[in-house]
C-alpha cells in the first residue's frame, strides 16, 4: 500500500506515518504547501514538517500491546528504590509511545541499575557493619583491597560490576545474618538461586549489542520487536524480565531509600519529584547523603559516596548519582566519575571533594593491581571494540562522497591550452551557492588531490589555493603567508645563492606587486611549468572600510597577468556580489574568461546523475531483491528516482548529495522523498526525524542534543577566539573524538561508548570529519553549509548552557585547588600549579575559556563571585604556563594562554569595579606586559606595542590611585614597560614615540634613584644604566650623536660605579656583560660621529670585559653573553674595515677579517647549539657577521672565500625561514637583511664571472 494518497489539492493522507502525539493514527492529513500536518484522531496540528520516522502504526500498535501487558510487576513500579523503579516505568512509557529505539537502549540502563544498586548496598554494608573489617587484620585488608581494586582501578564494565556483586553476595550469604544490616539484598545477585534475573540481563545486553550501532534511522523496528530466527525480540525479552522480577518482587519490603532530610526515594515517581524540588535551587548543596533504612526502627546504612544526591552541572538539579569510575588513578588530577540514570548525565568530581574515595584510591595506587577473573558471561562493556572506533574515525575521510566534476576540469584544461598572447589568463567560475565550486577546487588542491584520487590538470601546472570563508577573518597577512607557504612547497624552490621573493602587502600597486611576486617565484623554480592561483569564494570576503585594503585589491586585471601565470576565481554570479566588492573590483575582472554554471546546464546535470548512480547502485540492487516498498509494479526505476531527488534538491549538488546519502544509508525510503521539505528546511527536517525517533526528553535524545550542542559551542568558541587573537590560525576542523565523548558522556576519560557511536552514525549525514598527519583520532564538526546555523537557532539555550558549563567546570577545578593549599608565596604557587594535570577536555576548555565566558551570556556576577579565588588561581596557573612556553620559544602558544588570563582579569575587574584590589590590577598589567613580550618575540611588534601601552595605562592609574602607597617595585615595572614599548616602536619605525618611551623610562628610574637614596638596589641601578643606554641608542638612530654619546657615557658611569661598589661580590658575573654592552653602544655612537680612535678603545674595553666574564664563568657562561661577544666582534670588525678603507691599511683590514671570523665562529656555535630555538635577532646578527666577512674578503681579493661567506649568510637566514613556516609574522625582522645580502651576492657573482673571463 502506498504510504501517501492524494485527498484534495495539496493535501495528502498518510497511511503508515504515526502521529507524534498518539503514535497510533492512520489518518494523518498533510498539507504540502503549508508544511503542516493534522491528526484526525487526537486533533494535533503539526507545527513543523511531517514526521516521516520509520515507526509505523504496526510497530506502534505492537509496542502499545507490550506496554499494556499484564506482566508488568506493579510492586517494582511502586515500592522498589527510585533509580530502579523509574527505569522500569520509563521503559513502559517509551513502549506506550512507540519509541522502540529508546526502549531498547533503556533496557541496558535498567540492567545497569539492577546490578549497581544492590552491589553498592552490599559494599557499604560490608565495609561499615561487618565486624571482621573493624579489626586491623590481614583478612580485613584483603577484603577491602579486593573491593576497592574492583571499583577504583580501571573503570569497571557491566561485566565487572556483576562479578563484584556476585562476590559480595557470596560473602554476605556465608556470614551470620546478625552481623549485617541488609543481608537479604544479596539474593538479588546470588548465582545460587534460580530466579532467572541474571540470565535475563545477559540476554538483553546481547540483544542490544547485536541490533544497534549504525544509526537511529536505519533500524528494522518490526524485527526489533518480534525477533528473527534464533535472535530474540523485544517481546520475548520483556516477558522473561517480567517473570524474573515477579519472583523477587517483595525483596525490598520494609526497606526505604531516603535522603538526609527524610524525603523517600521509593517508587517510579520519586526521582522526578526530587528533580523538580531541587531544580535551579541556589541553596542546594553539591552532595546530600542517601540512606537505606528499615521502616520499623531498624538500622540505617549510609550509601555515600557510591550513591548520593549530587548537584548536576548540566541541569542544576540534585539527582541520584551512582559511582561509575576512578579517573587518572594515582595522579594529582585524580577524579571520580558518577552517572545519573534519570537524565543520562555524567559528573566528574575531583578528589578533593571526595576525601574518603581519594584516600582509598591513593592507597590502592601503592599496591599491585590485579584484574578480576571473569566469572560470568559477557554483558557488553562500556568501551567499543577498537575496529568500531577506527571506523568512526574514518567514516567521513574517504573519497566515496567525492565525484570528480569532469566537465569543469575539461573546461579549465581547454582554457589553459587556448591562452595566447593578449588573451585573458583569468578564468572566473560563476555559479549559485551549493553547486560544488569548493568541491571542484579541492580536487585541484595538491594537498587534497591524492586523498580524493584526483589527477593533476593537463600539463601538471603548479597549483596553489586560497579558500575564503565568510565565518573566519581572512586577513592580508593570512593571504600572503598561506600563498607563500604553498608556493614554496608546490614549486619545491631551493634558495641556493638567491633567497625567495616576498609579497609586500603595503605596496602602492597591490595587484601589480602580486603579479611581480608570482613571476619571481616561478622564475626561481626555473619557469618549468605554468602556475595556477586558485581563489575560492570571492563573494565571501568580509567587507572593509573604504580606507582599508582588501584581498580583492590584489586581484589583477587580465591584461596584467603574464604568460605562464593563470588565475582561477570562483564566486556566485557577479550580480550577486556585495556592492562594496563590486566597487573594489571596479570592473578589473570584466574581461576575464567567465564560465557560468546553472542548475539546468546539461554537463552539470550529468555530474549529478553520475554521483547519484554511484551512491545508489547497492541500494537499487537491494530493492530488486525486495521490491515491496518501491513502485506499484515492484521494479525500481532509477530514472524516476533521480528525477524525484533532483527536483526535491532544487538542482543543487549539496542537497542532492544529502538525499542520496540518506537513501544509500537506508535512512530514507524511496516513497518519502516527495514529502521532504524544500532545501532550506531539509537539514532541519533531518533533525526533526532524529527527534521523532529519540524524543528530547529521553536519555538518548539528550545525547543527540549534547553532541550537536557541543560541536556548535566548540565552533563558536573557535570563531570568537580567532577574531580576538592577533594570530593567523587554520580553519576549524572540529572536536577530537575523545574530547567530544568526554563532554557528552560527562566522565574524565573520554570513553567511546556504544550509545555515542550509535548517535554519531545517526548524525553522519550532517557531520564532517577531519584527520591529518599524526592526529590520533578524527575530529568531528557540523558539516554541510547551513547546519551550524540551524543547530544554533534550534538549541540556542542549550548552546549557551554548554558554554557556561565548560567555563564553570574549569573555574571550579581551580577553586578547589585553592581550597587544598592556598599558596603563600609566588615560588610556592609556581610549584603547586605546575603539578596540575589537566585532562584533554580541560586543556581545550582552558584554551577557549575566554570565548566560552563571553558566549555563555551567563550571569557573570554570580560566576565571578562564586569562583573569584579560582579565577585568580587559574590566572596564576596560566601565567606560569605561558612563561614556561616562552622560555621554550613557543611564543604562539604563550600568547593564547596570556589571552585567557587577560580576559578573566578584565571580566573580574568590570564586575568588581572600584573594589578590584590594587594587587590584581598589578596582575592585569603584568599580563599585558608579558603578552607584549611574547608578541614581540613572535615578531608582531605593532600588537606588542599596543599591549605595553595598555600595561602603562593601568600602572599610571594605579599610581594616581595609590599615590604615596604605590610600591617602589611598581615604578620599576612601569619603567620596564616604557623600555619594552620603546623597543617595539623602534621595530615599527615610530622613532619619535620610541624616543619618548625611553625618556619616560629614564625619568621614572631617576625618581626611583632619588627616593631610595642610599638604599637604592644594585639591580635597579643597573636598569637605570640600561634606560640611558637605550635612550642614547635612540638618539643615535635619529642622528643626534652628541646627545647620544652623553647618555651612553652616563650608562657607563653608572655601571662603573656599580663595579666599584660590588667588585668583591660577583660583580662580573651579575653585571659585567651589561657594562661591556654599554661600551659597545658608546663605540657605535662615536663611530657614527667619525671618532674612530675613541670608538676602538670602547670596543677593546667591551671585548676585554666579555672575555674576562667568559673565563670567570667557565661552562656556566651564558648564551646571551656569547652572542653579545659575537656582536661586539662584528661591530669592532666593521669599524676596523671602515678605517682600512679610509687609510688603505692592510693591517687594519686583516684585523677586521679576524674579528669577523671570531664573530662567525661564535655565532655558528650558537646556531648549532640552539637550532630552531635561536632568537630571530641573533639569526639576523650572525648572518650580518657572515656578510661583513664576505665584504672584507671581497676587498682583499679572496673572491671564492667571499662567496662562501655570503652563501653562509643567506643559508643562515633561509634555514631559519624554512623551519619557521608556521610563524611567518615572526620573520619580518630578517627580510631586509636577506634582501640586502642577496644584492651583495648578485654583485659578487658578476665580479667572479668577470675575473674568470680575464683569466681565460
pLDDT band at 355 (very low <50, low <70, confident <90, very high): confident
User: What pLDDT digit, counting tens, does each position of 1146-1162 carry?
Assistant: 888 899 999 999 999 99
Phi-psi region of 348 (alpha: psi -120 to 50; beta: other; left: phi over 0): beta
The answer to whether domain 406-598 and domain 1129-1255 are alike in fold is no
pLDDT score of 148: 80
pLDDT above 70 for 114: yes
pLDDT above 90 for 1003: yes
Indicate the CATH number for domain 1129-1255: 1.25.40
Q: Which of 673, 572, 563, 531 is nearest to 616 (CA)?
A: 673
Instruction: Report the top-level CATH class of 406-598.
Output: alpha beta
The secondary structure of the chain in percent helix, strand, coil, rounded to multiples of 5, reads 65, 10, 30
Q: Which of 119, 111, 68 is nearest to 87 (CA)?
A: 111
Burial of 241 (0-12, 13-18, 19+ CB in 10 A): buried
Cβ atoms within 10 Å, residue 79 = 18
Report the length, in residues, of the chain: 1256
pLDDT score of 4: 39
Q: Identify the weakest region by mean pLDDT among 90-94, 169-173, 483-487, 838-842.
A: 838-842
For residue 107, CA distances in Å to 89, 201, 211, 241, 1083 come to: 11, 9, 13, 10, 85
pLDDT above 90 for 681: no
**DSSP collapsed to 3 states, 179-236:** HCCCHHHHHHCCCCCCCCHHHHHHHHHHHHHHHCCCCHHHCCHHHHHHCECCECCHHH
Q: Identify the weakest region by mean pLDDT among 618-627, 662-671, 1118-1127.
A: 618-627
For residue 928, CA distances in Å to 699, 905, 1040 come to: 45, 11, 32
CA dihedral 1062, 1064, 1069, 1070 (to 10 degrees): -20
pLDDT above 90 for 978: yes
pLDDT score of 468: 84
Range 797-804 average pLDDT = 87
Q: Identify the weakest region by mean pLDDT among 41-55, 495-509, 910-924.
A: 41-55
pLDDT score of 1064: 63
Cβ atoms within 10 Å, residue 624 = 12
Return the domain boundaries, the chain. 4-51, 66-370, 406-598, 604-693, 1129-1255
pLDDT band at 392 (very low <50, low <70, confident <90, very high): very low
Q: Which of 687, 1155, 1200, 1173 is nearest to 937 (CA)?
A: 1173
More confident residue, 328 or 9: 328
Question: Mean pLDDT for the chain?
Answer: 78
Range 399-425 average pLDDT = 81
Range 1044-1056 average pLDDT = 91
pLDDT above 70 for 1124: yes
pLDDT score of 252: 93
pLDDT above 90 for 625: no
pLDDT score of 36: 52
pLDDT above 50 for 366: no
pLDDT above 50 for 322: yes
Are 908 and 863 in contact by the 8 Å Cβ rule? The answer is no
pLDDT band at 516 (very low <50, low <70, confident <90, very high): very high
pLDDT above 90 for 569: yes
Range 1174-1191 average pLDDT = 85
CA distance 733 to 866: 34
pLDDT above 60 for 1085: yes
Range 93-106 average pLDDT = 82
Are 286 and 353 in contact by the 8 Å Cβ rule? The answer is yes
pLDDT above 80 for 44: no
Cβ atoms within 10 Å, residue 174 = 8
Range 617-626 average pLDDT = 66
Bridge partners of 268?
none
CA distance 595 to 306: 68
pLDDT band at 803 (very low <50, low <70, confident <90, very high): confident
**DSSP collapsed to 3 states, 545-577:** CCCCCCHHHHCCCHHHCCCCEEEEEEECCHHHC
pLDDT score of 155: 76
User: What pLDDT digit, counting tens, does each position of 1183-1237 carry?
Assistant: 889 888 888 888 887 877 887 888 888 788 777 655 444 333 334 434 444 456 5
CA distance 271 to 292: 15
pLDDT above 50 for 1125: yes
User: What pLDDT digit, counting tens, does each position of 205-228 carry?
Assistant: 666 656 554 454 444 455 555 554
pLDDT score of 831: 41
CA distance 697 to 267: 20
pLDDT band at 963 (very low <50, low <70, confident <90, very high): confident
State what percent of residues in the chain have pLDDT above 90.
Answer: 20
Range 1169-1174 average pLDDT = 81
pLDDT above 80 for 841: no
pLDDT above 60 for 801: yes
Of the ranges 536-545, 552-561, 879-888, the best mean pLDDT one: 552-561
Strands 531-536 and 735-736: unpaired
Range 1130-1139 average pLDDT = 90
Burial of 289 (0-12, 13-18, 19+ CB in 10 A): middle
pLDDT score of 845: 80
CA distance 503 to 1219: 19
pLDDT score of 1048: 92
User: What pLDDT digit, counting tens, does each position of 140-175 carry?
Assistant: 777 777 888 888 877 787 778 888 888 888 888 887
Of the ranges 401-405, 615-619, 1110-1114, the best mean pLDDT one: 1110-1114
Phi then psi for residue 244, to 5 deg, are -65, -45
pLDDT score of 1173: 76
pLDDT above 50 for 21: no
pLDDT above 60 for 473: no
User: What pLDDT digit, counting tens, does each position of 712-751 carry?
Assistant: 999 888 887 777 665 555 667 788 887 888 788 765 455 6
Are 647 and 600 in contact by the 8 Å Cβ rule? The answer is no
pLDDT band at 465 (very low <50, low <70, confident <90, very high): very high
Q: Identify the weakest region by mean pLDDT among 503-507, 560-564, 865-869.
A: 865-869
pLDDT score of 427: 94
pLDDT above 50 for 52: no
Are 368 and 193 in contact by the 8 Å Cβ rule? The answer is no
Cut 0.75: pTM above it: no
3-state secondary structure of 698: coil
Of the ranges 188-197, 542-551, 659-668, the best mean pLDDT one: 542-551
**DSSP collapsed to 3 states, 757-773:** HHHHHHCHHHEEEECCC
pLDDT score of 740: 86
Amino acid at each position: 500500500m502506498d504510504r501517501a494518497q492524494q485527498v484534495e489539492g495539496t493535501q495528502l493522507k498518510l497511511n503508515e506515518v504515526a502521529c507524534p502525539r498518539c503514535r497510533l493514527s492512520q489518518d494523518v492529513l498533510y498539507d504540502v504547501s503549508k508544511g503542516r500536518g493534522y491528526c484526525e484522531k487526537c486533533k494535533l496540528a503539526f507545527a513543523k514538517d511531517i514526521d516521516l520516522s520509520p515507526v509505523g502504526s504496526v510497530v506502534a500498535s505492537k509496542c502499545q500491546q507490550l506496554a499494556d501487558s499484564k506482566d508488568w510487576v506493579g510492586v517494582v513500579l511502586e515500592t522498589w528504590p527510585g533509580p530502579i523503579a523509574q527505569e522500569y516505568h520509563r521503559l513502559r512509557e517509551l513502549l506506550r509511545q512507540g519509541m522502540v529505539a529508546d526502549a531498547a537502549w533503556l533496557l541496558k540502563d535498567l540492567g545497569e541499575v539492577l546490578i549497581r544498586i544492590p552491589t553498592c548496598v552490599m559494599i557499604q554494608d560490608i565495609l561499615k557493619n561487618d565486624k571482621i573489617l573493624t579489626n586491623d587484620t590481614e583478612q580485613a585488608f584483603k577484603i577491602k583491597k579486593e573491593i576497592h581494586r574492583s571499583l577504583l582501578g580501571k573503570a569497571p564494565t557491566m561485566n565487572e560490576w556483576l562479578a563484584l556483586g556476585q562476590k559480595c553476595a557470596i560473602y554476605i550469604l556465608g556470614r551470620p545474618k546478625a552481623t549485617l544490616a541488609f543481608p537479604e539484598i544479596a539474593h538479588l545477585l546470588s548465582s545460587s538461586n534460580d530466579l532467572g534475573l541474571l540470565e535475563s540481563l545477559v540476554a538483553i545486553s546481547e540483544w542490544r549489542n547485536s541490533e544497534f550501532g549504525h544509526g537511529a534511522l536505519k533500524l528494522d523496528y518490526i524485527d526489533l520487536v518480534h525477533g528473527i530466527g534464533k535472535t530474540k525480540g523485544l517481546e520475548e525479552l520483556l516477558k522473561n524480565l517480567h517473570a524474573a522480577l515477579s519472583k523477587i518482587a517483595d525483596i525490598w519490603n520494609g526497606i526505604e531509600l531516603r535522603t538526609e532530610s527524610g524525603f523517600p526515594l521509593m517508587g517510579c515517581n520519586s526521582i522526578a519529584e526530587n528533580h523538580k524540588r531541587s531544580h535551579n535551587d541556589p541553596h542546594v548543596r553539591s552532595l546530600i547523603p542517601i540512606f537505606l533504612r528499615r521502616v520499623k526502627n531498624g538500622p540505617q546504612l549510609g550509601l555515600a559516596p557510591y550513591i548520593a544526591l549530587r548537584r548536576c552541572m548540566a541541569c542544576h538539579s540534585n539527582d541520584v548519582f551512582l559511582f561509575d569510575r576512578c579517573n587518572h588513578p594515582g595522579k594529582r588530577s585524580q577524579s571520580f566519575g558518577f552517572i545519573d540514570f534519570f537524565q543520562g548525565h555524567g559528573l566528574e568530581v575531583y578528589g578533593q571533594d571526595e576525601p574518603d574515595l581519594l584516600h582509598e584510591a591513593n592507597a590502592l595506587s601503592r599496591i599491585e593491581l590485579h584484574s578480576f577473573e571473569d566469572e560470568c558471561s559477557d554483558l557488553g562493556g562500556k568501551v567499543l571494540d577498537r575496529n568500531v572506533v577506527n571506523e568512526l574515525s574514518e567514516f567521513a575521510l574517504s573519497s566515496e562522497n567525492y565525484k570528480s566534476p569532469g566537465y569543469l576540469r575539461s573546461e579549465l584544461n581547454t582554457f589553459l591550452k587556448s591562452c595566447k598572447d593578449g588573451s585573458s589568463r583569468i578564468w572566473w567560475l560563476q555559479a549559485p551557492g551549493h553547486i560544488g565550486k569548493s568541491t571542484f577546487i579541492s580536487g585541484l588542491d595538491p594537498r587534497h588531490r591524492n586523498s580524493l584520487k584526483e589527477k593533476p590538470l593537463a600539463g601538471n601546472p603548479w597549483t596553489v589555493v586560497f579558500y575564503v570563508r565568510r565565518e573566519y577573518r581572512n586577513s592580508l597577512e593570512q593571504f600572503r603567508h598561506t600563498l607563500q607557504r604553498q608556493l614554496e612547497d608546490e614549486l619545491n624552490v631551493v634558495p641556493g645563492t638567491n633567497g625567495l621573493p616576498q609579497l609586500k602587502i603595503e605596496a602602492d600597486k597591490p595587484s601589480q606587486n602580486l603579479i611581480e611576486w608570482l613571476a619571481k617565484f616561478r622564475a626561481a623554480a626555473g619557469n618549468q611549468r605554468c602556475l595556477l592561483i586558485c581563489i575560492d569564494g570571492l563573494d565571501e570576503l568580509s567587507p572593509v572600510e573604504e580606507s582599508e585594503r582588501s584581498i580583492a585589491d590584489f586581484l589583477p586585471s587580465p591584461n596584467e597577468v603574464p604568460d605562464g601565470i593563470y588565475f582561477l576565481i570562483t564566486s556566485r554570479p557577479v550580480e550577486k556580489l556585495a556592492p562594496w566588492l563590486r566597487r573594489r573590483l571596479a570592473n578589473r575582472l570584466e574581461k576575464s574568461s567567465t564560465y557560468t554554471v546553472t542548475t539546468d546546464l546539461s554537463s552539470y546535470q550529468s555530474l549529478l546523475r553520475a554521483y547519484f548512480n554511484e551512491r545508489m547502485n547497492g541500494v537499487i540492487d537491494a530493492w530488486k531483491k525486495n521490491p515491496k516498498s518501491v513502485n506499484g509494479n515492484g521494479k525500481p526505476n532509477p530514472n524516476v528516482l533521480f528525477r524525484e531527488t533532483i527536483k526535491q534538491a532544487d538542482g543543487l549538488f549539496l542537497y542532492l548529495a544529502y538525499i542520496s546519502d540518506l537513501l544509500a544509508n537506508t535512512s530514507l525510503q524511496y516513497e518519502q522523498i516527495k514529502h521532504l521539505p524544500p532545501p532550506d528546511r531539509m537539514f532541519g527536517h533531518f533533525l526533526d526525524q532524529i527527534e521523532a525517533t529519540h524524543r528530547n526528553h529521553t536519555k538518548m535524545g539528550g545525547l543527540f542534543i549534547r553532541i550537536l550542542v557541543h560541536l556548535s559551542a566548540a565552533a563558536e568558541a573557535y570563531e570568537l577566539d580567532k577574531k580576538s587573537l592577533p594570530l593567523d590560525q587554520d580553519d576549524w576542523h572540529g572536536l577530537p573524538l575523545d574530547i567530544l565523548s568526554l563532554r557528552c558522556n560527562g566522565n574524565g576519560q573520554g570513553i567511546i561508548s556504544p550509545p555515542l557511536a550509535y548517535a554519531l552514525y545517526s548524525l553522519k549525514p550532517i557531520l564532517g570529519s577531519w584527520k591529518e598527519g599524526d592526529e590520533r583520532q578524527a575530529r568531528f564538526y557540523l558539516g554541510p553549509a547551513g547546519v551550524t546555523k540551524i543547530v544554533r537557532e534550534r538549541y540556542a539555550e542549550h548552546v549557551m548552557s554548554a558554554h557556561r558549563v565548560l567555563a564553570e567546570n574549569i573555574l571550579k577545578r581551580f577553586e578547589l585547588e585553592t581550597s587544598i593549599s592556598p599558596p603563600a608565596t609566588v615560588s610556592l604557587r609556581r610549584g603547586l600549579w605546575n603539578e596540575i594535570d589537566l585532562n584533554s577536555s580541560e586543556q581545550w576548555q582552558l584554551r577557549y575559556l575566554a570565548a566560552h565566558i563571553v558566549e555563555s551570556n551567563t550571569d557573570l556576577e554570580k560566576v565571578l563571585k562564586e569562583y573569584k579565588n579560582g579565577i585568580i588561581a587559574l590566572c596564576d596557573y596560566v601565567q606560569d604556563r605561558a612563561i614556561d612556553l616562552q622560555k621554550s620559544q613557543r611564543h604562539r602558544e604563550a600568547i593564547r594562554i596570556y589571552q585567557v588570563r587577560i580576559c578573566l582579569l578584565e571580566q573580574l575587574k568590570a564586575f568588581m569595579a572600584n573594589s578590584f584590589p590594587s594587587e590584581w590590577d598589578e596582575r592585569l598589567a603584568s599580563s599585558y606586559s608579558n603578552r607584549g613580550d611574547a608578541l614581540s618575540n613572535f615578531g608582531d611588534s605593532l600588537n606588542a606595542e599596543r599591549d605595553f601601552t595598555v600595561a602603562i595605562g593601568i600602572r599610571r592609574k594605579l599610581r594616581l590611585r595609590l599615590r604615596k602607597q604605590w610600591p617602589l617595585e611598581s615604578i620599576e615595572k612601569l619603567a620596564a614597560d616604557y623600555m619594552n614599548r620603546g623597543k617595539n616602536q623602534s621595530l615599527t619605525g615610530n622613532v619619535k614615540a620610541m624616543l619618548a618611551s625611553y625618556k619616560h623610562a629614564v625619568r621614572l628610574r631617576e625618581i626611583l634613584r632619588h627616593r631610595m637614596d642610599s638604599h637604592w638596589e644594585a639591580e635597579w641601578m643597573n636598569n637605570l644604566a640600561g634606560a640611558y643606554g637605550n635612550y642614547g641608542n635612540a638618539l643615535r638612530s635619529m642622528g643626534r650623536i652628541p646627545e647620544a654619546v652623553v647618555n651612553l657615557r652616563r650608562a657607563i658611569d653608572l655601571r662603573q660605579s656599580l663595579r666599584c661598589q660590588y667588585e668583591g661580590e660577583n660583580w662580573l658575573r651579575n653585571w659585567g656583560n651589561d657594562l661591556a654592552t654599554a661600551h659597545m653602544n658608546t663605540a657605535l655612537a662615536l663611530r657614527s660621529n667619525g671618532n674612530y680612535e675613541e670608538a676602538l678603545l670602547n670596543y677593546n674595553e667591551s671585548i676585554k670585559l666579555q672575555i674576562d666574564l667568559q673565563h670567570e664563568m667557565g661552562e656556566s657562561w651564558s648564551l646571551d653573553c656569547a652572542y653579545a661577544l659575537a656582536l661586539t666582534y662584528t661591530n669592532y670588525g666593521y669599524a676596523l674595515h671602515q678605517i682600512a678603507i679610509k687609510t688603505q691599511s692592510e693591517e687594519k683590514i686583516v684585523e677586521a677579517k679576524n674579528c669577523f671570523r671570531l664573530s662567525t665562529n661564535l655565532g655558528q656555535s650558537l646556531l648549532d647549539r640552539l637550532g630552531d630555538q635561536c632568537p630571530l635577532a641573533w639569526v639576523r646578527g650572525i648572518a650580518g657577521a657572515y656578510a661583513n666577512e664576505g665584504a672584507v674578503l671581497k676587498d682583499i681579493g679572496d673572491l671564492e672565500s667571499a662567496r662562501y661567506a655570503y652563501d653562509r649568510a643567506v643559508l643562515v637566514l633561509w634555514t631559519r625561514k624554512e623551519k619557521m613556516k608556521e610563524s611567518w609574522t615572526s620573520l619580518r625582522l630578517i627580510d631586509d637583511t636577506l634582501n640586502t645580502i642577496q644584492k651583495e651576492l648578485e654583485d659578487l657573482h658578476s665580479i667572479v664571472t668577470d675575473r674568470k673571463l680575464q683569466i681565460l
